[in-house]
Chain A
Amino acid sequence: MKRIYLILLALLFVVGAAAQELVSLSGRVTDSAKNPIVGAIVTLKELPSRGSSTDVDGRYRISLPEGQYTINVEYIGYEPYEKSIRVERKRVVDIIIEQSATSIDQVVVSMNSSTAKLQNVQIGAEHVDVKVLSQMPALFGENDIIKSLTLLPGVKSEGDGSSGFQVRGGTSSQNLILLDDAPIYNSGHVMGIFSVFNDDAINSATLYKGQIPAMYGGATSAVLDIQSRNGSVDNLAGGFDIGVLSSKAYLECPIIDNTLSLFVGGRRSYFDLFLLLSDEYRGNSLYFYDFNAKLSYRPSDDDFVAISYFKGQDTMGLEDMMDMGWGNDALTAKWVHRFNNKFSAATSLLVTDYVTENGIDVADIYCAYNGYIRNYSFKESLEYSGDSHTLNFGLQSTWIDLLSAEWQFNDYIEREQRQALESSLWVNDQWRVADNLEISAGVRLNSFLSLGGSPYYELDSDGDIISTLNYDSNSVVQSYLQLEPRFSLNWRISPTQSLKLGYSRSSQNIHALRSSATMSMPFDRYAMSSNIIKPEVSDQIALGYIALTPTHDYEFTAEVYYKYIDNVYDYRDGKLFNSEIEIERLILGGEGRSYGAEFSAKKSVGRFTGWVSYTLSWVETLIDGISNGEWYRASNDKRHDLSIVALYDMPGGWSASANFLYNTGQALTVPSAKYQISGETYYYYTARNNYSTPDYHRLDLSFTHTKNRGKYSREWTFGFYNIYNHYNPYIVYFEESESSATGSDAVQYSLFGIIPSISFGINF
């Protein structure tokens, strides 16, 4: 023990001594319109290990010894910036970078992500390049940030027709998706075929799939942090895009030059216009739309205020007899204030409202199925940037009003609604221990209070109600306190190699129970932790290695991980989402584990770029009362997952891209026997998820032609989803068949064969 103290003291001495010799170089990176550039890499030619990436306000900060340096800034889609500067004492250098004139430069700058990944202390953090996203093939021609994530190692698609993604054995319901800090609970349009995020309105997106920074909570699998786009502060800009099934447009403009700006963007599908062509379907509705607006105000260099609003809505109706609608509203008001060069604060008010409303009105009988999640949050996040330490701390408090379900049958209404208060404190220190060693260590303290005002229950082992517990409104029914340590270490073995280690504990108090095994539906139910449902808690440890070639042309990564989750919930045998209104009667709790290895190779420079990623993984669940109380494959268990992405920039304004995806089939419950009752054949199951669906694979191609004409550019995009028309499994079910020798058939139902698409867009 004495030796450890001595080593620690020596380490502190070295760090302290080093700190005394360092000064700070800081500033802000913006585009020519003064929009902050988020995630740009700022490096020094003479000190390649001392780089920094810009934050959400475009700020960077580097501690370094006094001297003469060459500062470089790189960001995808922008001209590389280089300037010689003299640094004595602290120095502030604001940098404006110019957008690239040609698309080839967009690809060149994409090497930023490799440099950033090497330098980022967070293991398993993936910054999504929105520019690259727009070049990739897309279903029905709709660029989709969620689908592009599934091409990354360790991230898997839920399947065709789903906007969900699965990270390291987690389900999509264990992810937290934030849009300007506000949670989005159902991120799919048209039952999940499209995501609700319009790429025109996105400024940046970061996926945390490994160690989650302490400022984030509420997800046991991954956090996707999406920041929306600020409007231009000095000129009018906009664009539109006309696609096969939907169109979108955006406009950004200064209201007060360099001070106040507005961005508005929207998208709407027009399936319903096709319905008008048919006499039979004319009275029906089937469409989605989303809308983004952001007002950005920068009254001074030290203050930034933004109010952003998002609305996404789906509607499906059958004349005046049936109506289904679901959607998200998210409102964020955020004020960022910089007290001085080292200390800043971000204050946010957040409102999220996810609502699903479905009704049938036939023969004077009215049936409805409704639900919602409403969040009202206050968040204060503070950051102190010292020479070697960046300290982030804050608090967040959220009032949650959750209607798990409301079922109406004429005048009779059953509903389960609960309220809760969730509050968190966090502190995280990012410590540059040495030039080649950086540590991020933090802790999050999460308090969850289930509140009275609605019934709670005591259940027997069969899920039947023993007694109903009634508490006064807003009285505390049950409280949970979770201490969640977070740790990550980045040891840069050489200027082009680093080794990372991470540990993360996180908890989740809003639990989603899918109504369908294959996709997000308006009937999905949500439940909060209560006297019966415990918070889901995950512990994950990961080890990673990243290497770049000396010229940074190629990047190679490998990560291994093990994750254990306590209090995972699954349906009891013989229960579905609508079996009982009391959701706690439908489910049983247990534990889960996942482990695996992820590998990727990426080429970032040149006309031809792309990457290959491969994941080998296992996901298992153990719940007493399900599958004989033994470990069984989780429904999202897929052993092998391979993605290949290729982008090629051709002369004459053409670019081409291709994706190839392959994964072994996901877990499937296959019957082991059959029997008859009253002439009907039924199947007998010995274990849950005891088989795999056929393997999934497809190839997508996309060709884009861009032409610049002065201030305008126009773009034609031709896409082919699933070019070789392979029908992938969507649902597999079993049925009796007279034509079958065995009398039984396993039938695979597939969604998409080859889908060609074309879109035309103009930007100015």
Chain B
Amino acid sequence: MRRYITLSLLLLSLVSCSKIIDVDYESIDKFYVIIAEFSLDDGSLLITQSCDMDEPIASDAITTATVALSDGVESYPLEPDEFGYYRAIGQVDFVEGRDYTISVDIDEEHFSATSHLYAAPQFGEVTFSSQQFTADMNLVFCTFQILDTAGEQNYYLYRLRYEGKENDSWNLAKEDESWSLAKEVIDGEPISLMSHLYTFDRELQDGDVVSIDLKAIDKGVYDFLYTLNLSSSSSTNPTTNFDGGCMGYFSICSTSTYEAVLDFSTF
């Protein structure tokens, strides 16, 4: 990859340069940022505030909000812990296939969002291969199948880990996207995806444990994370699933994990 980038910019790099410039930033009212991530056995909500461009980023949690999680039948209040993360006071009985709503009240402002809890996604076939990408970089590629649920548009998050370490941030996938390896995407048929592992500290070795984490998410969560990834390159704001004018998202999902031990002799 390094050579590709170098080659692409070979001409430009002959003479190009970068420097820091002064910008007279606009100052706007602060807004709340709510990140609410829940799984079957855990979950929390964090509230922070935005800050102006010409002041250091502040990550102080807001702990004065009233927060509740509801499945339409039961309502579960959430209280902040010592780090400012709001957690359910009691046991929440999450039920797959159900919509959950989170509501947040702060200083007479009300924010709410809804997320659908899908069943944990199922893995199909998983295979590994490797490629000497450059003289000093050997990449391990993982191809895996998701057993897609028929009758609905499905969205996924996945990431690879090795030896328990996170290899990359979460990747987004959706049922009909082009990066599927299938010749034709058919609703309900397995979806094949590919990702690669790279390691900064050492080469991957025989016997290393590689894990794939996979989540089924709803469209609102997918849209937020997708537009968040593009936010910098497109200079636009992500599409939040919260009502009320805050930033952030509410996600509730279950995670499936596949583990394998690398055996280079089988590649």
Q: Which of B41-88 contact A (CB under 8 A)?
A: 48-57, 59
B213 CB to nearest chain A CB (Å): 15
Q: Which residues on B sit within 8 Å (CB–CB) of A743?
A: 55-57
Q: 1/0 per position for B224-249, CB-CB distance to A under 8 A?
A: 00111011111111110000000110
B89 within 8 A of A: no
Interface residues of A in 693-736 (CB under 8 A from B): 694, 727, 729-730, 732-734, 736
Whether B3 is near chain A, meaning CB under 8 Å from some CB there, is: yes
Min CB distance, B84 to chain A, in Å? 13
Q: State which of B26, B55, B185, B228 has its C-beta within 8 Å of the C-beta of A677.
A: B228
Also in contact, A748 and B178, with CB within 8 A (given A576-B234, A682-B232, A684-B50):
no
Contacts of A733 in B (CB 8 A): 232
Q: Which residues of B contact A755 (CB under 8 A)?
A: 15
- Among B4, B28, B139, B248, the residue within 8 A (CB) of A686 is B28
Residues of A within 8 A of B16 (CB): 730, 749-752
Give 1 or 0 for each of B118-161: 1 = CB within 8 Å of chain A CB. 00000000000111010000010100000000000000000000
Smallest Cβ-Cβ distance to B30: which chain A residue: A673
CB pair A571–B234 under 8 Å, yes or no, is yes
Looking at the complex, which one of A271, A316, A575 makes contact with B230 (CB distance below 8 Å)?
A: A575
Taking CB atoms and an 8 Å cut-off, the chain A residues in 403-457 that contact chain B are: 407, 409-414
Complex: how many Å from CA A676 to CA B248? 10
**Bound: A251/B73 CA distance, A:** 85
Q: When the two chains form their complex, are residues B178 and A414 in contact, meaning their CB atoms are under 8 A apart?
A: yes
Whether the Cβ atoms of B15 and A685 lie closer than 8 Å is no
* B266 interface contact, C-beta 8 A: no
> Does the CB pair A745–B11 fall under 8 Å?
no
A678 pairs with B35, CB closer than 8 A:
yes
Quick one: closest B residue to A324, CB to CB? Answer: B8
Query: With an 8 A cutoff between CB atoms, is B205 at the interface?
Result: no
B30: A residues at CB distance < 8 A: 673
Residue A4, interface by CB 8 Å: no
In angstroms, Cα B16 to Cα A685, docked, is 28
Q: How far is the CA of A682 from the CA of B189 in the complex (A)?
A: 37
For residue B58, which residue of chain A has the nearest CB?
Answer: A676
Of the candidate stretches A111-119, A360-368, A543-551, A648-656, the one touching chain B is A360-368
Find chain A residues with CB under 8 A from B265 CB. none
A720 CA / B228 CA spacing, docked (Å):
44
Residues of chain B lying within 8 A (CB to CB) of residue A412: 178, 180-185
Asked if A573 contacts B227 (CB within 8 A), the reply is yes
Verify A742–B55 contact, CB threshold 8 A: yes
Q: Are A686 and B26 in contact (CB under 8 A)?
A: yes
A482 within 8 A of partner (CB): no
Q: Judge whether B7 and A675 touch: CB under 8 Å.
A: no
Contact (Cβ within 8 A) A672 B23: no
The winner among B223, B236, B248 for most chain A CB atoms within 10 A is B236
Q: Which residues of A contact B54 (CB under 8 A)?
A: 742, 744
Given the complex of chains A and B, what is the CA–CA distance between A684 and B236 in angstroms? Answer: 7
A677 cross-chain contacts in B, Cβ below 8 A: 33, 35, 228, 248
> Are A685 and B230 interface neighbours, CB within 8 A?
no
Cα distance, A410 to B129, chains bound together (Å): 15
Nearest to A722 among chain B residues (CB) is B15
B237 adjacent to A363 (CB under 8 Å) = no
Sort chain B's interface into a size bin. 35 or more
Q: Within 8 Å of chain A (Cβ to Cβ): is B179?
A: yes
Q: How far is the CB of A406 from chain B (nearest CB, A)?
A: 10
Given the known inter-chain contacts A411-B183, A742-B56, please indicate yes or no for A750 contacting B17, CB distance below 8 A. yes
**Inter-chain contact A749/B230, CB cutoff 8 Å:** no
Q: Which residues of A contact B230 (CB under 8 A)?
A: 574-576, 579
Contact B8 A573 (CB under 8 A): no
CA gap between A340 and B55 in the complex, in Å: 78
Dominant secondary structure of chain B at its interface with chain A: mixed
Q: Does A318 contact B (CB under 8 A)?
A: yes
Contact A322-B51, Cβ < 8 Å, known A362-B133, A573-B237, A685-B236: no
- Whether B91 is near chain A, meaning CB under 8 Å from some CB there, is no
- Contact partner of A364 (CB less than 8 A), chosen from B26, B129, B226, is B129
Residues of B contacting A581 in the complex (Cβ-Cβ under 8 angstroms): 178
Residues of A within 8 A of B141 (CB): 363, 365
Residues of chain A lying within 8 A (CB to CB) of residue B181:
409-412
CB < 8 Å: which of B19, B33, B233 contacts A675? B33
Query: CA A384 – CA B160 in complex, angstroms?
Result: 73
Q: Does B25 contact A (CB under 8 A)?
A: yes
Alpha-carbon distance between A257 and B55 when the two chains are bound, in angstroms: 78
A669 interfacial by beta-carbon distance below 8 Å: yes
Contacts of A414 in B (CB 8 A): 178
- For residue A606, give the distance in angstroms from its CB to the closest CB of chain B: 36
**Bound form: Cα–Cα A579–B238 in Å:** 14
Tell whether B194 is near chain A: CB-to-CB under 8 Å.
Answer: yes
- B232 — which chain A residues lie within 8 A by C-beta? 682-683, 733-734
Q: Which residues of B contact A590 (CB under 8 A)?
A: none
Closest chain A CB from B4 CB (angstroms): 5
A676 touches B129 (CB 8 A): no
Contact between A736 and B194, CB atoms less than 8 A apart = no
Contacts of B52 in A (CB 8 A): 672-674
A284 proximal to B (CB < 8 A):
yes
Given contacts A281-B7, A412-B181, A412-B184, contact A672 B129 (CB under 8 A): no
Contacts of B194 in A (CB 8 A): 365
Judge whether A253 is part of the interface by a CB distance below 8 angstroms.
no
Measured between alpha carbons, how far is A615 from B32 in the docked complex, in Å?
Answer: 44
**Which residues on the A side are within 8 Å of B179 (C-beta)?**
409
Q: Which residues of B sit under 8 angstroms from A750, Cβ to Cβ? A: 16-19
Closest B residue to A740 using CB positions: B20
Contact A574–B238 (Cβ < 8 Å): yes
CA distance A409 to B184 in the complex (A): 11
Residue A210, interface by CB 8 Å = no
From B15, B21, B59, A746 is in contact (CB under 8 Å) with B21
Besides the known contacts A675-B247, A736-B57, A750-B18, 7 further A-B residue pairs in the complex with CB atoms under 8 A apart: A576-B233, A670-B25, A672-B26, A673-B51, A677-B248, A683-B53, A683-B231
**A interface residue numbers (CB < 8 A to B):** 161, 190, 193, 271, 275, 280-281, 284, 286, 316, 318, 321-322, 362-365, 407, 409-414, 571, 573-576, 579, 581, 669-678, 681-686, 688, 690-691, 694, 727, 729-730, 732-734, 736, 740-755
Interface residues of B (CB under 8 A from A): 3-4, 6-8, 10-12, 15-23, 25-28, 30-31, 33, 35, 48-57, 59, 129-131, 133, 139, 141, 178-185, 194, 196, 223, 226-228, 230-239, 247-248
Could you list some 7 contacts between A and B, CB below 8 A?
Answer: A286-B7, A411-B183, A576-B233, A671-B25, A675-B57, A684-B247, A750-B17
Listed from nearest, the 8 A-B pairs whose CB atoms lie closest are A574-B227, A363-B131, A669-B235, A573-B236, A411-B183, A673-B50, A743-B56, A675-B50
